[in-house]
Structure 1
Amino acid sequence: MKPYPLLFKPEMKERVWGGRNLEQFGLELPEGHIGEGWMIGDHPNGTTQVANGELAGLGLDQIREQYGKELFGTKGFSEKNGRFPLLIKLLDCQDDLSVQVHPNDHYDRLPKGELGKTEMWYILDAKPDAKIIYGLNDGVTREQLAQAIEENRILGSLREIAVEAGDSFYIPAGTVHALGAGVLVAEIQQNSDSTYRLYDYDRLGLDGKPRELHIEDSLNVIAYEGSGATYMKTELQASNEWLTLANSPFFVTEKGKVEQEWQLQTTEASFVIHIICDGTGTIRWADGELNVKPGQCCLIPANLGEYTLTGSMTVLRSYLP
Structure 2
Amino acid sequence: MKPYPLQCKPEFKERVWGGRALEQFGHQLPDGPIGEGWMIGDHPNGTTSVVNGELAGMGLDQIREQFGEVFFGSKGFSKKNGRFPLLIKLLDCQDDLSVQVHPNDHYDRLPAGELGKTEMWYILDAKPGAKIIYGLKDGVTREQLAAAIDEDRIMDCLNEVTVEAGDSFYIPSGTVHALGAGVLVAEIQQNSDSTYRLYDYGRLGLDGKPRELHIEDSLNVIAYEGSGATFMKTELDRSNAWLTLARSPFFVTEKGQVQGDWPLQTTPESFIIHIICDGTGTIRYADGELTVKPGECYLLPANLGDYTLSGEMTVLRSYLP
Settle same-fold status: TM greater than 0.5: yes
Matched residue, 2:100: 100
Shift of 1:129: 1.2
**Please, what TM-score do these two structures have when normalized by structure 2?**
1.00
Q: Do residues 276 (structure 1) and 260 (structure 2) align?
A: no
| Distance in 2 between residues matched to 1:265 and 1:289, nearest whole Å | 15
Q: Do residues 217 (structure 1) and 217 (structure 2) align?
A: yes
Gaps of 5+ in 1: none
Letter in 1 for 2:185: V
Letter in 1 for 2:183: V
Matched residue, 2:244: 244
Matched residue, 2:35: 35
Matched residue, 2:189: 189
How do 1:96-135 residues align onto structure 2 when only pairs under 5 Å count?
96-135=96-135
Matched residue, 1:146: 146
Letter in 1 for 2:74: T
Letter in 2 for 1:127: K
Letter in 1 for 2:144: Q
| Distance in 1 between residues matched to 2:300 and 2:65, nearest whole Å | 17
Matched residue, 1:62: 62
Shift of 1:92: 0.1
SS class of match (1:148): helix
Matched residue, 2:255: 255
| Distance in 2 between residues matched to 1:115 and 1:286, nearest whole Å | 36
SS class of match (1:239): coil
Per-residue CA distance 1:197-253 (angstroms, 9 max, x = gap): 000000100000000000000000000000000000000010000000000000000
| Distance in 1 between residues matched to 2:73 and 2:176, nearest whole Å | 33
| Distance in 2 between residues matched to 1:134 and 1:86, nearest whole Å | 22
Letter in 1 for 2:14: E
SS class of match (1:15): strand
Matched residue, 2:163: 163
Per-residue CA distance 1:166-190 (angstroms, 9 max, x = gap): 0000000000000000000000000
Shift of 1:132: 0.1
- CA RMSD in angstroms comes to 0.2
Per-residue CA distance 1:52-96 (angstroms, 9 max, x = gap): 000000000000000000100000000000000000000000000
SS class of match (2:39): strand
Q: Do residues 48 (structure 1) and 51 (structure 2) align?
A: no
Shift of 1:260: 1.4
| Distance in 1 between residues matched to 2:31 and 2:221, nearest whole Å | 35
Matched residue, 1:312: 312
Gaps of 5+ in 2: none
Letter in 1 for 2:238: A
Per-residue CA distance 1:86-112 (angstroms, 9 max, x = gap): 000000000000000000000000000
Matched residue, 1:71: 71
Matched residue, 1:301: 301
SS class of match (1:318): strand
Matched residue, 1:20: 20
Letter in 2 for 1:244: T
Among the aligned pairs, what percent are the same residue?
84
